[in-house]
Structure 1
Amino acid sequence: MERATEIALLEELHGLKNSKLFYLDEVVHKSPVARYMSGARFAAEKRDIFRTLPLIAAHSSELPEAGSFMTRDLAGLPLLLTRDKEMNIHAFLNVCRHRGSRLESEESGCKRAFSCPYHAWTWNNEGNLKGVPHQKQGFPDLDRDAYKLKRLPALEAAGVIWVVANPNAEPDFENYLGPILKEFEWFGMPDMAIAASNTITIKANWKMLVEGGIEAYHFKVAHRHTIGPHFLDNLSSYRELGAHMRSVLPKNSLKSLKDMPQGDWKIREHSNVLYNVFPLDQFLLMEDHVAWISARPISAGETELRLSTMAPSVEVAPEMMSHWKRNHQITVATLMEDFDVNAAAQAGLESGANEFLTFGRYEGALESFNKTVESFLGETD
């Protein structure tokens, strides 16, 4: 974020507050409940979005040294990430090319070779087949180059490892990620590390979980016992960054800007900044740390979430871990207030009470997000 943008965003919200106005969309929108319930719709999202667009597979710090690896599910596919001796990142399908068994079962570690537990075919961390037991007699004409691990397009940039869950894709990483990479550099993503993390499963559609974070209309109600008292009532703004989005959620201290020179204004002191990295990740910037919410949609009505607290890597030290764990617990407790409401709303949709959800003029970011979803599905209505 450029300094001029930071000042302009604060100035805009401060002006709205002083004028007792709100950041309003032009019209009220209706969101069909099929968006959140349809199995066919979910299958289309999986095909056209989750397995087509660059997804965040890991933070760079999760593979800290040569030989590091990690396994993870990515859009329903088994992923193996490796870092070679030159510190380059590789992304493969975690599948043996001989008989299809899962190649690596450990979640993370450090090794330079991966041996299948079924027949011990072995690959190095660059995906090259290096060992086949009894090859001379059993596979006399084997072309090892034809049996490399199946590679997925990957890019390491701005402290993040991006992967496309389609071995045949030819993604334009620069065009798709350009706007968000600049923001990541601004808030120091390359110099951060994960201080605490946990995984939960919520019975709600992935889009409903995103929508719950990109408006402030609910703060004083849903979060009245936690963060609600610290934020201005029903005031926020948003901007599209290509397919992505930046939302600004101002705190009560925004009022103090009138007594400060603009040169001293700092957006993270007077607001939370939320980056919605389309499609599945959100980064909530607080004053001294970042909450990372990463979604793994399981079905139309169920989503796995990985919740992580990130801090500058120099501060993720043993003597600081109790501090970050406390922060993480507070953040998770607050997020669960949203997620519990989302799960209840998903159950409400199943009742048939509503044919559509209604986005008021305070909730324009929700419609913007859904239009982005539909643009990748080729939908216009």
Structure 2
Amino acid sequence: MITDEEIARLRALMEWEATRTAPPEGFPKLPDMPAARYTSPEYFELEREHIFRKSWLFAGHLDEIPEPGCYMRWHNAGDPIVIVHGMDGMVRAFYNTCRHRGAPVVTEDRGKSSRLMCGYHNWTYKTDGTLVGVPERQDFPPDFDMSCRGLIPVRCELLGNVIFVNFDEDAMSLKDWFGPLWDEWEEFAFDRIRLAARHSFDLECNWKVAMEANMEVYHVPFIHPETVAPLVDSRRNLNTMYPNGHARMLAPPPEQTDREHVRAIDSPPEWLQIESVGEIGRTCTQSYTLFPNWVSPLSNYFVPPLVFWPTSLTTTRLELVTMALDWGDGPAPDLWTVPDETKPDGRDMSPIILEDTQFGEAIQQSMQSAAFKSVPLSYQEARIYSFHQACDRMIGIGNVPEDLRVEQVIGDEWTWPNDPRVRQMENDAVKAREAAE
């Protein structure tokens, strides 16, 4: 829970942001980013090999595998895996690949069984991955060791009820990956929120093009004049960069807004509130970027991540997820989609999401033009630049061709818990008092 002192500091900083006439003193000039980061097949392969193979990735919710023996297939990051609620109560992930001749161990998106059996030759595994059954065992060599032929695990850890996976055996723990967000997010009851909705949509643009539309408020007055703009004071927006590439956007409602609770999206009053959420979550719009591909506003009503999965250099699968407390006998809340019988699964993206995605395909096509040479970013877009710095660090700066790199100009002095804006705000307040005297 954020302390009263921290709340006061955040509110003061939001007000200070509205008064500045230039970027904060000492904030680095952001060099143009190479345009080819959005169009280069070489850079895209580096992203897939390093970023999506070494980061902790959202995989699902315990509600999708609620009981021991339940399993689900997952393949959003390339290699197909199976996530299993073990008979011992543990949640694990494995490559969905039989150790015999590579056939999938499960072929349904979801199921329930006390054993996982490959349909090709009936090799059978326990839910902890142990190989326990090989037909015609006598035809294998006498020294054939079943104990070393279990399913190959994939790192799998939980934040409350939310499941994350990581293909890197040497990766830091999920808690260390979250860093300070682990404690900051405690108030949002990840151990109690349920999965209310999860839908996917295909976009015709690079995954970063789609994701970055949700990483700055510069566009809000122009793209969301009737939806987000009346609820978010973009002049008072406060960005915070965290370790490991994460970031937060925080903004109060415009001063003329008189509703008791204001968030980026209206919430039906019948939704059960998350009572542990504090003042900032109840009264401001805050959106977190969880590196590499999760963006989510968080409030006292919902945890609704938008998750961006690259499917090719120029295509993206967008997952729209709503998690909330129990909604009783009523319909499950679905923040990001609306009914539409003309769509394949009977849902379409909500107006706000459509506003953010409407230009994606045109932007991608325009980026292929010879006129697209570099990307200049403003202070308001610093979250995007910081994100690209984190991408290169995850890839390994030496692995990125020099003409595709971004300069690492936003340093630790601008990364939580450091914030030079606090000192500048205090100095400005002293000068204002002295001038008044």
TM-score by length of 2: 0.77
1:277 to 280, 283, 290: 290
Find the counterpart in structure 2 of residue 319 from structure 1: 330
Distance 1:338 1:29 in 2: 25
Residue 122 of structure 1 and its aligned partner are, at CA, apart by 1.1
1:241 maps onto 2:259 in alignment: no
Amino acid at match of 1:289: F
Find the counterpart in structure 2 of residue 144 from structure 1: 146
* Structure (1/2) with the larger helix percentage: 1
Cα distance per residue 1:223-244 (max 9 Å; x no partner): 1232222222444111122121
Mapping of residues 72-87 of structure 1, within 5 Å: 72-87=74-89
RMSD: 2.6
Find the counterpart in structure 2 of residue 359 from structure 1: 377
Distance 1:139 1:273 in 2: 61
Structure 2 CA distance for partners of 1:326 and 1:310, relative to 1, 3 Å: closer
Cα distance per residue 1:76-120 (max 9 Å; x no partner): 011111112332111100011111011111112322211111111
| Larger deviation, residues 359-368 vs 24-33 | 24-33
Distance 2:162 2:249 in 1: 21
Find the counterpart in structure 2 of residue 232 from structure 1: 233
Residue 20 of structure 1 and its aligned partner are, at CA, apart by 7.0
Structure 2 CA distance for partners of 1:227 and 1:343, relative to 1, 3 Å: same
Say whether the 8 Å CA contact 1:22–1:234 is kept in structure 2: no
Say whether the 8 Å CA contact 2:322–2:335 is kept in structure 1: no
* Structure (1/2) with the larger strand percentage: 1
Say whether the 8 Å CA contact 2:215–2:383 is kept in structure 1: yes
Distance 2:122 2:368 in 1: 48
Find the counterpart in structure 2 of residue 306 from structure 1: 319
Distance 1:326 1:54 in 2: 24
Say whether the 8 Å CA contact 1:235–1:250 is kept in structure 2: yes
Distance 2:14 2:175 in 1: 31
Mapping of residues 1-381 of structure 1, within 5 Å: 1-3=1-3, 4-17=5-18, 19=19, 26-138=28-140, 140-166=142-168, 168-243=169-244, 244-252=246-254, 266-312=279-325, 314-315=326-327, 317-321=328-332, 324-325=333-334, 328-329=337-338, 332-379=350-397, 381=407
Find the counterpart in structure 2 of residue 261 from structure 1: none
Q: If you compute each CA radius of gyration, which structure gives the higher value, 1 or 2?
A: 2
Structure 2 CA distance for partners of 1:53 and 1:272, relative to 1, 3 Å: same
| Larger deviation, residues 212-221 vs 286-295 | 286-295
Distance 1:52 1:327 in 2: 28
Structure 2 CA distance for partners of 1:265 and 1:81, relative to 1, 3 Å: closer
Structure 1 gap segments, 5+ residues each: 258-263
Distance 2:299 2:336 in 1: 11
Amino acid at match of 1:192: I
Distance 1:356 1:221 in 2: 22
Distance 2:173 2:234 in 1: 40
Distance 1:86 1:254 in 2: 55
Distance 1:176 1:265 in 2: 24
Residue 352 of structure 1 and its aligned partner are, at CA, apart by 2.2
Say whether the 8 Å CA contact 1:33–1:356 is kept in structure 2: yes
Residue 327 of structure 1 and its aligned partner are, at CA, apart by 6.1
Q: Percent of aligned pairs with the same residue?
A: 25
Distance 2:114 2:318 in 1: 30
Structure 2 CA distance for partners of 1:10 and 1:64, relative to 1, 3 Å: farther
Say whether the 8 Å CA contact 1:254–1:270 is kept in structure 2: no
Structure 2 CA distance for partners of 1:100 and 1:67, relative to 1, 3 Å: same
| Larger deviation, residues 201-210 vs 173-182 | 173-182
Residue 28 of structure 1 and its aligned partner are, at CA, apart by 4.7
- Aligned residue pairs: how many? 369
Distance 2:253 2:79 in 1: 40
Distance 1:95 1:23 in 2: 52
Say whether the 8 Å CA contact 1:128–1:145 is kept in structure 2: yes
Say whether the 8 Å CA contact 1:273–1:286 is kept in structure 2: yes
Distance 1:318 1:23 in 2: 50
Structure 2 CA distance for partners of 1:183 and 1:108, relative to 1, 3 Å: farther
